[in-house]
């Protein structure tokens, strides 16, 4: 009776496998190649801007500069003002509401076109490339070469003649956003098409199709397990009833290895396909449910009658930001302590994804009104930036608010931005809002569903529970798993072809 039921279920294995074999081959192959991409992509010569650009000119301080209201045109309107040093001279970078930037000499307010030279110097600093002519292009949208995973826009694309490495620099924060080259661009595009099906532009239908294929893939694995148990039952029964060894002849080598690999990859395949299906159905990948860039009230240079406060902390930086009650000076610094990792840019190795294993850095931050230097609570400013999300949940109160200076399982490296503030709401789905106060951006909004999906994808699909063995060991295990699925599928195709010819 049991053998009969197993036989009926096992008959579906071949049919379902032929239906889904091509997508499964594509997913396993790209999963196998992904660790190689993270190791062969370009590496940065430096991860942070040079001190001579982000610090005040040697021998002085930002507080020694004239107040912006005394040197800049009072009609100049902006949403932020950032100090920087270029070739030994202090400048103000004024960011407009339309995303444009203007640079003014801090001591006399003269407008200067330094951004191309500044981006070129930063590109040489981040890459270590000292030769070749620079070719610059302002990038305002994501593409195969600069995908959405990098998060920051606009950026400058800088490439030096005679070199394949392409540098993407985010001008507001003078930060390295990504590095690329022809290999990485090709692989990223290939991975996106074969693994994420980016060629299918209509997201709802694409997600439904992927979920159906993954469901059928799970059915293939389950029916394959039934076949393995059925064979053990049948072979065991024949062994008991037969005294002739030739009746138990060994199967063809391809079939034998197909079965062996089935035992090896079954659990991993079930884990990766089930978590992948959850990821496809649970996450809206087209548009977030919140406005990532809150509306900001512009201010005039005439309102900046003071200078930023002094924290007295190593590596502190300052800027003026817009708020509903006038511009604010913000001074901040992240003290990473001993053993803490620096913030990684979008191009860095996948291991940066697990920064939460390092010591947690501390954030020092101070806000004061730019017109009269009165202190302002950071909590008030962060809640102002979160107002758009809070308005979607009227009646909800903020249970807690804290600075986050390292990536966690809930707020992972994929979000890119640090430091951020987390606002935890008392909603039924325990919404957490993550705000980047420096760039005035809503970085992420996490619900219980997204939280569970994040853990599922991280610990089941990407096997982060193996991190204790080291990144190399984890990638090796996942690579063997993907290779096993790929080879097993190829052997299955070979067997199907022989069966048809036979």
Other beta carbons within 10 Å of 6 = 21
In the predicted model, is pLDDT for residue 482 greater than 60? yes
Report in angstroms the alpha-carbon separations of 491 from 244, 247, 348, 495: 30, 25, 36, 6
Reported pTM: 0.85
Domain locations along the chain: 2-38+196-287+465-501, 51-193, 299-464
Closest C-alpha to 86, from 106, 63, 61: 106
The string of DSSP codes covering 292-340 is SS-----EEGGG--S-PPP---TT-EEEEE--TTS-EEEEEEEE--SSP
pLDDT score at 67: 97
CA dihedral 183, 186, 190, 196 (to 10 degrees): 90
Predicted confidence (pLDDT) at residue 263 exceeds the cutoff of 70:
yes
> What DSSP string runs through 40-101?
HS---S-SS--HHHHSPPTT--GGGSPPHHHHS-TT-EESEEEEEEETTEEEEEEEPTTS-E
Residues 297 and 67: their CA atoms lie apart, in Å, by 21
- Res. 349 pLDDT band, cuts 50 70 90: very low
Question: Which segment of 102-116, 140-154, 228-242, 250-264 scores lowest on mean pLDDT?
Answer: 228-242
Stretch 47-55: mean pLDDT: 95
Assess contact for 146 and 168: CB atoms under 8 A: yes
**Predicted pLDDT of residue 353:** 42
Q: What percent of the chain has pLDDT over 90?
A: 57
Residue-wise pLDDT for 365-404, tens only, equals: 999 999 999 999 999 999 999 999 999 888 899 999 999 9
The pLDDT of 213-232, averaged and rounded, is: 83
> Closest by alpha carbon to 327, among 367, 382, 379?
367
- Kindly indicate the confidence band of residue 217, based on its pLDDT and cuts at 50, 70 and 90: very high
Higher pLDDT, 475 or 36: 475
For the cut 80, the answer to whether the pLDDT of residue 153 exceeds it is: yes
Q: What is the pLDDT of residue 346?
A: 40
Mean pLDDT of the chain: 86
């Amino acid at each position: 009776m049991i053998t009969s039921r197993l036989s009926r279920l096992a008959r579906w294995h071949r049919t379902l496998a032929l239906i889904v074999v091509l997508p499964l081959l594509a997913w396993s192959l790209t999963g196998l190649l992904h660790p190689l991409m993270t190791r062969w992509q370009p590496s940065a010569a430096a991860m942070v801007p040079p001190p001579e650009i982000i610090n005040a000119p040697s021998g002085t301080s930002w507080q020694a500069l004239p107040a912006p209201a005394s040197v800049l045109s009072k009609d100049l309107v902006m949403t932020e003002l950032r100090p920087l040093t270029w070739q030994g001279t202090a400048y103000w970078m004024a960011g407009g509401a339309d995303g444009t930037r203007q640079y003014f000499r801090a001591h006399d307010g003269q407008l200067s076109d330094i951004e191309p030279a500044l981006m070129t110097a930063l590109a040489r600093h981040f890459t270590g490339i000292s030769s070749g002519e620079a070719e610059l292009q302002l990038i305002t949208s994501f593409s195969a070469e600069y995908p959405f995973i990098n998060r920051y826009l606009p950026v400058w694309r800088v490439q030096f003649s005679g070199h394949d490495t392409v540098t993407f620099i985010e001008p507001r924060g003078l930060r390295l956003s990504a590095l690329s080259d022809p290999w990485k661009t090709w692989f990223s595009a290939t991975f996106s098409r074969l693994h994420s099906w980016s060629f299918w532009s209509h997201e709802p239908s694409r997600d439904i199709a992927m979920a159906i294929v993954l469901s059928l893939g799970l059915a293939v694995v389950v029916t394959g397990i039934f076949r393995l148990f059925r064979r053990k039952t049948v072979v065991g029964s024949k062994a008991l009833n037969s005294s002739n060894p030739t009746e138990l002849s060994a199967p063809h080598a391809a079939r034998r290895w197909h079965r062996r690999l089935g035992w090896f990859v079954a659990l991993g395949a079930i884990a990766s396909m089930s978590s992948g299906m959850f990821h496809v159905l649970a996450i809206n990948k087209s548009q977030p449910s919140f406005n990532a860039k809150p509306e900001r009230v512009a201010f005039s240079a005439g309102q900046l009658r003071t200078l930023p406060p002094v924290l007295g902390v190593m590596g502190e930086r300052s800027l003026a930001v817009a708020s509903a009650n006038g511009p604010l000076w913000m001074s901040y610094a992240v003290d990473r302590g001993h053993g803490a990792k620096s913030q990684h840019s979008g191009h860095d190795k996948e291991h940066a994804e697990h920064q939460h294993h390092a010591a947690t850095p501390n954030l020092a931050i101070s806000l004061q009104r730019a017109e009269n230097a009165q202190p302002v609570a950071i909590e008030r400013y962060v809640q102002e930036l979160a107002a758009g999300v809070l308005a979607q949940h009227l009646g909800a109160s903020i249970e807690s608010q804290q600075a986050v200076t390292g990536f966690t399982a809930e707020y992972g490296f994929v979000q890119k931005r640090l430091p951020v503030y987390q606002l935890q709401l008392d909603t039924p789905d325990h919404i957490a809002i993550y705000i980047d106060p420096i760039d005035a951006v809503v970085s992420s909004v996490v619900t219980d569903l997204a939280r569970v999906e994040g853990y599922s994808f991280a610990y089941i699909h990407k096997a982060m529970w193996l991190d204790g063995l080291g990144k190399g060991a984890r990638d090796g295990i996942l690579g063997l798993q993907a290779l096993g699925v790929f080879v097993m599928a190829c052997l299955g195709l070979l067997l199907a072809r022989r069966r048809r010819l036979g």
